[in-house]
Amino acid sequence: MSRQYVLAIDQGTTSSRAILFDREGRIVGTGQKELRQHFPKDGWVEHDPEDIWRDTLAVCRQAIHAAGVAATDIAAIGITNQRETTVLWERDTGSPVHNAIVWQDRRTAETCRELVADGIEERVRGRTGLVVDAYFSGTKLAWLLDHVPGARSAAEHGALAFGTVDSFLLWRLTGGRVHATDATNASRTMLFDIVEQTWDEELLRALRIPPSVLPEVRDCSGSFGIADPELFGAAIPILGIAGDQQAATIGQACFLPGMSKSTYGTGCFMLVNTGERFVASRNRLLTTVAYRLDGRTTYALEGSIFVAGAAVQWLRDGLGIIRSAAETEELARDLPDNEGVYLVPAFTGLGAPHWDPDARGAILGLTRDSGVAHIVRAALESVAYQTLDLVDAMTADMAAATLDGGLGGLRVDGGMVVNDWVCQFLADILNRPVERPAVVETTALGAAYLAGLAAGVYASLPAVAGAWRLERRFEPGLAPEQRERLVAGWRQAVRRVRS
Ligand SMILES: Nc1ncnc2c1ncn2[C@@H]1O[C@H](COP(=O)(O)OP(=O)(O)O)[C@@H](O)[C@H]1O
Ligand SMILES: O=P(O)(O)OC[C@H](O)CO
């Protein structure tokens, strides 16, 4: 049978990946390229959209070539992407007017403080499910309109298009024919009403965003246009889009309320499915769109932590005390205990549930006996404690919303979870099972499922759920008093770094 493969594009913060999946969800070809980072000023992070486009094309061709399949055998393309990162481009040339402003970029923190002072917070919370923070696209887009010469007037004349990375790639893949996004990416802009599923006019006015720059918002699975046949040698339909954390939620088959996944890459993002209910968080988590299929929205609560694997990168590249990330496992395991040493990786402030942009990192509890292993172990432990802070907030929110069943076991993925010690410590600290799936490329898999469902390559959500396979389950095993002592130490360390 022809057309039995699905090509997933996973355009992430630090790399662009393409993975070709077969009907059984098996990987048959991959391509990957590191993405160049730009740090023009302290706290600013940019990507060149032309790099994003060139790398994406290259990795797609690499994956197709590696699989040895013809482009005519590919039924659909699915796109998943680093979320919030903001691109503004000219409609007639397709050229970006500026580098993309990356989700980590803090240049609009002051604007956010002003917006809060103007009393916008309640509307943002109630309509978009978000907190007012520089993390989201809205103030980044406003910054571009205000700082790129001529941008505001061009936008007001309908000459510019805004999009998150998915929209920009879609525009380029379709030769400038389609300006659209999906509901999950729209839900991260701080401009989109996730209950009404429309752009919010009051927020657009408050941020002075002309509606003509906005993409059309579609379901995650369905028609987004056709990739120009010149690009891959065949006209391949683009049938799925979702932000990367939502795609991982789908790849982890978290389709029932209470099911959760946590992805440990550069940062850590935990999402719990709350079904068709918008659950407003009382604990400073985000409410977000998990997916929208056939016009029906499924919601999630999300906890976003800015530094997870990035702490390990810092040990390697900043401190130079390890040579590779893999070494951390043995170093941590060789210590019987953290011996009172904690690392709070608030390098760029603290994300959920603290949202403290002015907190800064610290290593606490050092003695003359502390060595490299203590610091390494403290960095790995910090990932588990930060997850516990999210789990506690989620549990409280779900109980307050009287959601049946509560929070179940946690499905994990991302580059860090190859580390067995991390997974075991996570189970110990959370005091709940941690499940690692057989396919850890859950983000790309989720995008492939969305596109493949629309193409008929995959039958249904229950079929997708049935295909999820456990590789290893980590059971909690720490004595309660030991766990309490460790967690109390973490809480004290966080109090000491708060601004
Ligand atoms: N064995 C390991 N132990 C701990 N951390 C690891 C290990 N291997 C990789 N990492 C961390 O995982 C991260 C890479 O994960 P990945 O999912 O590729 O990130 P991203 O998609 O955010 O670029 C890096 O920050 C790296 O330090
Ligand atoms: O590209 P990642 O995997 O670091 O994910 C980035 C998130 O989508 C930011 O919200």
Q: What average pLDDT does the segment 42-56 reach?
A: 95
Please, how many CA atoms are within 13 Å of residue 199, restricted to the half-sphere of its CB?
20
**CATH code that applies to domain 253-437+469-499:** 3.30.420.40
User: Where exactly are the structural domains of the chain?
Assistant: 5-243, 253-437+469-499
pLDDT above 80 for 406: no
Q: What is the mean pLDDT of the chain?
A: 94
Q: Residue 130 has what DSSP assignment?
A: -
What residues contact residue 441 under an 8 Å CB cut-off, 6+ apart? 10, 19, 27, 251
Q: Which atom of ligand 1 is nearest to the CA of 414?
A: 17
Q: What average pLDDT does the segment 216-237 reach?
A: 96
Beta bridge partners of 472: 436
Q: Which atom of ligand 2 is nearest to the CA of 83?
A: 8
Q: What DSSP letter does each residue of 286-300 carry, written as one string?
A: EEEEEEEETTEEEEE
Place of tokens 């588990």: 384
Give the residue, out of 15, 81, 262, 266, with the most ligand 1 atoms within 8 A of its beta carbon, to mutate for a pocket test.
Answer: 266
Amino acid 42: pLDDT: 83
Which of 288, 343, 357, 326 minimizes the C-alpha distance to 499? Answer: 357
Give the residue, out of 165, 412, 416, with the most ligand 1 atoms within 8 A of its beta carbon, to mutate for a pocket test.
Answer: 416
Amino acid 405: pLDDT: 64
- Rank 265-269, 352-356, 484-488 by mean pLDDT and report only the highest: 484-488
Question: Per the structure block, which two tokens stand in for 227?
Answer: 């990739």
Give 264 Cα–ligand 2 centroid separation in angstroms. 10
Give 366 Cα–ligand 2 centroid separation in angstroms. 32
Q: Is 297 in the pocket of ligand 1 (CB under 6 A)?
A: no
Amino acid 350: pLDDT: 87
Q: pTM of the prediction?
A: 0.93
**How would CATH label the architecture of 5-243?**
2-Layer Sandwich (3.30)
**pLDDT confidence bin for 401, thresholds 50/70/90:** confident
Amino acid 495: pLDDT: 95
Q: Is 103 in the pocket of ligand 2 (CB under 6 A)?
A: yes
293: left (phi over 0), alpha (psi -120 to 50) or beta: beta
pLDDT above 80 for 2: no
Task: Establish whether 17 is an annotated binding residue.
Answer: yes
Q: Is 104 in the pocket of ligand 1 (CB under 6 A)?
A: no
pLDDT above 60 for 462: yes
pLDDT digits (tens, 9 = 90+) for 376-399: 999 999 999 999 999 999 998 888
110: left (phi over 0), alpha (psi -120 to 50) or beta: alpha
- % residues pLDDT > 70 (the chain): 99
Q: Angle, to 10 degrees, between the axis of helix 372-400 and the axis of helix 480-497?
A: 90
**Alpha-carbon dihedral 224, 230, 232, 234, rounded to 10 degrees:** 70
Q: What average pLDDT does the segment 360-378 reach?
A: 95
0.90 surpassed by complex ipTM: yes
Amino acid 444: pLDDT: 95
pLDDT above 60 for 169: yes
Tell me if domain 5-243 and domain 253-437+469-499 are identical in fold.
yes
What residues contact residue 303 under an 8 Å CB cut-off, 6+ apart? 269, 270, 285, 286, 351, 352, 353, 387, 389, 390, 393, 394
**pLDDT confidence bin for 349, thresholds 50/70/90:** confident
Give the helix ranges, DSSP H, for 104-238.
109-117, 121-123, 137-147, 151-156, 165-173, 183-186, 201-206, 229-232
pLDDT digits (tens, 9 = 90+) for 185-219: 999 999 999 999 999 999 999 999 999 999 999 99
Q: Is 414 in the pocket of ligand 1 (CB under 6 A)?
A: yes
Q: Is 13 in the pocket of ligand 2 (CB under 6 A)?
A: yes
